[in-house]
């Protein structure tokens, strides 16, 4: 059986900390987990989860 559901969506961002703050303030997302090497984080609310990947120079 095929489930029509996403686990998470990944976004490349130029500034990881600013992006985390944006999604927290605009959508009420909570920080789930964050890593420094590589620079990435999971944030979300309810069943919505975003993977943010820090990519300098985009």
Residue 57, CB-side half-sphere exposure with 13 Å CA sphere: 0
Q: Are 49 and 41 in contact (CB under 8 A)?
A: no
Residue 22 falls within a domain, yes or no?
yes
Domain total for the chain? 1
The band of 47, judged by pLDDT with boundaries at 50, 70 and 90, is: confident
Provide the residue range defining the domain that includes 39.
Answer: 9-54
Phi, psi dihedral angles at 37 (to 5 degrees): -140, 100
Asked whether residue 32 carries a pLDDT value surpassing 70, the answer given is yes
Average pLDDT over residues 24-41: 95
pLDDT band at 3 (very low <50, low <70, confident <90, very high): low
Is this model's pTM higher than 0.75 or not?
Answer: yes
Under a CB-based contact definition with an 8 Å cutoff, are residues 54 and 40 in contact? yes
The pLDDT confidence band at residue 2, using thresholds 50, 70 and 90, is low
CATH number at residue 40: 3.10.180.10
Q: What's the chain's average pLDDT? A: 90
């Amino acid at each position: 059986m095929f489930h029509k559901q996403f686990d998470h969506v990944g976004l490349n961002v130029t500034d990881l900390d600013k992006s985390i703050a944006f999604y927290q303030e605009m959508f009420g997302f909570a920080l789930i987990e964050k890593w420094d090497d590589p620079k990435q984080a999971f944030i979300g609310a309810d069943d919505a989860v975003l993977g943010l990947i820090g990519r300098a120079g985009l």
